[in-house]
């Protein structure tokens, strides 16, 4: 009986992976006779506010296996993840010592690459959720992860038609590519009502007599923005000027926190990383978001919230063409000027995006059921 079930491993490791796997687990759980699965957490993100809080908010089950890989250089992190993850593929007790039939990986982080490579080397089929995105900037570690993961994968699930085109141009066979939509938007839709109960706006004093104030959010963690002190200092200077006009909330990523110690921007509300529901509540009520994250470019597009991306390129150009996203790089004058222009013009017009409809996970499971 168990033999007939498809044995899957969902491999996750970082904060942005968790919202992408959550709706798939809901969907796959509807077919207990068809699938059996394990949730493996590599431990790339391990702090309570980067992992546990997200698991709780997303109602994710506790990982079946935790690899405890932690931080390190790219080679250390990727190598250690491969070594630990390979053992799981050989030894998984819940699959009665049989190899999994499919490894599912998400996004573009080091954990994604490592687990996909293990699958490819062991001849275990790999499914990549969020395949085909390209910034065409190989200085970004994520771009290398995206390209290699896609070429090691057997099922490529894409969020937009651009991604299909990118994959086809790279010579990936069309019959491996499935345009299914965006599982991160599935999660957003699954949780947006619960996020309304979040008390974060009151906690941060962003409500006045019941009315939500106009405010902005900042998130920054890309090496290109935060690793070079001069660059970081000039961005912080820009935030101070913007904060004179509108309150800014800055939940600070662990890699950024000690770097901003010397030039914390005056007037900006600094918080630790927030839970999913609190952040969703903050984002959906914000006037503007300044970020270098990938996922936030998509979430703000979906929510119709103005987004300034502090990068020169994006692997998600659809958010610029059809959504609310503007690329501003990290020049402080441009950041300040564009922010003030946008605050004057109000909320942007946007088009609805195909398959960003809460059913991407359903489509993925439908493909796998076939």
Q: Please, what's the b/e burial string for 10-49 (b: 16 or more CB within 10 A of its CB; e: otherwise)?
A: bbbbbbbbbbbbbbbbbbbeeeeeebbbbbbbbbbbbeeb
Of residues 45, 128, 191, 221, which has the active-site annotation?
Answer: 221
Provide the minimum distance between the beta carbon of 270 and ligand UD1 in the complex, in angstroms, as a whole number.
Answer: 16
Q: Does 15 bind ligand UD1 (CB under 6 A)?
A: yes
Q: Which of 8, 9, 22, 109 binds ligand UD1 (CB under 6 A)?
A: 109
Region of 44-52, 59-67, 150-158, 230-238 interacting with ligand UD1 (CB under 6 A): 44-52
Kindly state whether residue 110 participates in binding ligand UD1, applying the rule CB under 6 A.
yes
The residue among 130 and 142 lying less far from ligand UD1, judged by its C-beta, is 142
CB of 74 to ligand UD1, least distance (A): 6
Which residue among 8, 24, 26, 44 contacts ligand UD1 (CB under 6 A)?
A: 44
Does position 78 interact with ligand UD1 (CB under 6 A)? The reply is no
> Smaller CB distance to ligand UD1: residue 21 or 28?
21
- 254 lies in the site for ligand UD1, by CB under 6 A: yes
Give the per-residue contact string, 116-145, with ligand UD1 (x = CB under 6 A; - = no).
-------------------------xx---
Of 304-363, which residues contact ligand UD1 (CB under 6 A)? none
Query: Considering beta carbons, is residue 296 or 308 the nearer one to ligand UD1?
Result: 296
Q: Residues 48-67: x/- map of binding to ligand UD1 (CB under 6 A)?
A: --x-----------------
370/364 Cα distance (integer angstroms): 10
Backbone angles phi, psi at 12, to 5 degrees: -130, 165
- The nearer residue to ligand UD1, 112 or 326, going by C-beta atoms, is 112
Residue with tokens 């402080």: 332
Distance CA 274, CA 191 (A): 15
| CB 215, CB 247: distance < 8 Å | yes
Annotated catalytic, 221?
A: yes
Integer Cα distance of 207 and 232 in angstroms: 30
Give start and end residues of each alpha helix (H) in the chain: 15-28, 52-57, 74-91, 110-121, 141-152, 161-169, 183-195, 200-203, 223-226, 229-243, 254-257, 276-285, 295-303, 318-321, 332-345, 360-369
Question: If we measure between CA atoms, which residue out of 74, 77, 82 comes closest to residue 122?
Answer: 82
Candidates 14-22, 181-189, 228-236, 259-267; binding stretch for ligand UD1 (CB under 6 A): 14-22
81 interacts with ligand UD1 by CB under 6 A: no
CB of 84 to ligand UD1, least distance (A): 15
Of 161, 171, 8, 17, which Cα lies nearest the Cα of 94? 8
Q: Which residues contact 198 (CB under 8 A, 6 or more apart)?
A: 277, 278, 280, 281
Q: Which listed residue (10, 18, 35, 46) binds ligand UD1 by CB under 6 A?
A: 46
Angstrom distance (rounded) from CA 163 to CA 315: 9
Query: In the block, which residue shows the tokens 């086809």?
Result: 168
Point out which residues bind ligand UD1 (CB under 6 A). Answer: 14-16, 44-47, 50, 71, 108-110, 141-142, 221, 253-255
Q: Which residues are catalytic?
A: 221
């Amino acid at each position: 009986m168990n033999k007939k079930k498809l044995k899957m491993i969902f491999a996750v490791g970082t904060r942005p992976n968790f919202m992408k796997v959550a709706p798939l687990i809901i969907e796959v759980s509807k077919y207990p006779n068809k699938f059996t699965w394990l949730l493996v957490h590599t431990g790339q993100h391990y702090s309570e506010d980067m992992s546990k809080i997200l698991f709780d908010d997303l109602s994710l089950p506790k990982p079946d296996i935790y690899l405890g890989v932690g931080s390190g250089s790219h080679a250390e992190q990727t190598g250690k993840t491969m070594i630990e993850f390979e053992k799981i593929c050989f030894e998984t007790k819940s699959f009665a010592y049989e190899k999994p039939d499919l490894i599912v990986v998400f996004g573009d982080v080091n954990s994604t690459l490592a687990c996909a490579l293990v699958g490819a080397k062991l001849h275990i089929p790999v499914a990549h959720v969020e395949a085909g995105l390209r910034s065409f900037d190989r200085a970004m570690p994520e771009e290398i992860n995206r390209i290699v993961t896609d070429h090691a994968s057997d099922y490529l699930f894409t969020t937009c038609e651009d991604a299909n085109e990118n994959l086809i141009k790279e010579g990936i066979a069309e019959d491996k590519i499935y345009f299914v939509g965006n599982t991160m938007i599935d999660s957003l839709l699954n949780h947006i009502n619960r996020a309304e109960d979040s008390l974060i706006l009151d906690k941060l004093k962003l409500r006045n007599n019941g009315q939500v104030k106009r405010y902005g959010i900042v998130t920054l963690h890309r090496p290109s923005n935060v690793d070079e002190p001069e660059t970081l200092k000039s961005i912080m200077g820009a935030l101070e000027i913007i904060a004179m006009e509108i309150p800014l909330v800055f939940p600070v990523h662990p890699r950024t926190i000690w770097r901003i110690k010397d030039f914390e921007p005056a007037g900006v509300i600094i918080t630790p990383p927030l839970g999913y529901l609190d952040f969703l509540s903050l984002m959906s009520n914000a006037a503007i978001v300044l970020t270098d994250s990938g996922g936030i470019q998509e979430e703000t597009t979906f929510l119709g919230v103005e987004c300034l991306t502090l990068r020169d390129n994006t692997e998600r150009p659809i958010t610029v063409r059809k959504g609310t996203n503007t690329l501003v790089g990290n020049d402080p004058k441009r950041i300040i000027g564009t922010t003030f222009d946008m605050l004057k013009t109000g909320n942007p017009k946007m088009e609805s995006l195909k398959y960003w409809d809460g059913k991407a996970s359903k489509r993925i499971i439908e493909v796998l059921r076939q």
